[in-house]
Amino acid sequence: MLEKILSLDTQLFIYLNGLGSETYDGLWLVITKQVNWIPFFLILFYFIYKKLGIKQTGYLLLFIAVLLLVTDQITNLFKYTIQRARPCNNPEINTFIRVVQVRTSFSFFSGHAANTMAVATFLYLIFKKQIKYFGLLFLWPLIFAYSRIYLGLHYPLDILTGYLCGLITGFVMYKAYQWTLRKNFPKQT
């Protein structure tokens, strides 16, 4: 059963990765680099600051930092326990797939997918009633994580598992945030 799932995962990866072309490689290399998302983060930070003020924004950023730390450590635990080779390092397929970028670390599961989905879930649960169309925030993890398939770095199952991890950690951190918010900012809850 596991072999069948991994085989389907590889086939889906080959299909999705094969949709790319050299024309768009540069775009996807820009998309996959975290530093290039700084303008997006600054705009997001501005909206959060306008809604919460400086003290609660600082508090929220602390929770996001802890969320990223926890999600990243869970991801690394899985990567180094399972040790699945990235598609770009898989000798069975790396001679005929599009390898735009190479990494030597392990593939399962995607830290990019887990971290972005964790933050998007956490922020969405906090602001969904306050900011119209805030659900569009989920385009960020979708685009960001697809870049990993496009570049030859992750299988679709790596991305989906990363999303699941991010959803869970984002939700748990949201609950912890709500609890501490009620305790420390009782007038604003």
Asked whether the predicted pLDDT for residue 186 surpasses 90, the reply is no
H-assigned helices in the chain? 2-18, 22-32, 38-52, 54-82, 111-127, 139-150, 156-184
Rounded to two decimals, the pTM is: 0.90
The predicted structure's pLDDT at residue 2? 85
% the chain with pLDDT above 90: 77
Q: What is the pLDDT of residue 184?
A: 76
Q: What is the pLDDT of residue 189?
A: 52
Question: One-letter amino acid identity for 158?
Answer: D
Confidence at 188, pLDDT banded by 50, 70, 90: low
Task: Please report, for residues 52, 67, 89, 159, the alpha-carbon distance to residue 128 in angstroms, rounded to integers and kept in the order given.
Answer: 14, 19, 40, 24
- In this predicted structure, the answer to whether residue 62 has a pLDDT above a threshold of 80 is yes
Within 8 A by CB and 6+ apart from 154, the residues are 13, 86, 87, 107, 110, 112, 113, 145, 148
pLDDT at 187: 66
pLDDT in tens, 78-101: 999 999 999 999 999 989 899 999
Name the token pair of 77.
């635990």
Q: Please say if the pLDDT value at position 130 is more than 90.
A: no
Instruction: List the domain boundaries for the chain.
Output: 2-184
Percent of the chain residues past pLDDT 70, beyond the cut: 97
Q: How many CA atoms does the CB half-sphere of 148 hold within 13 Å?
A: 26
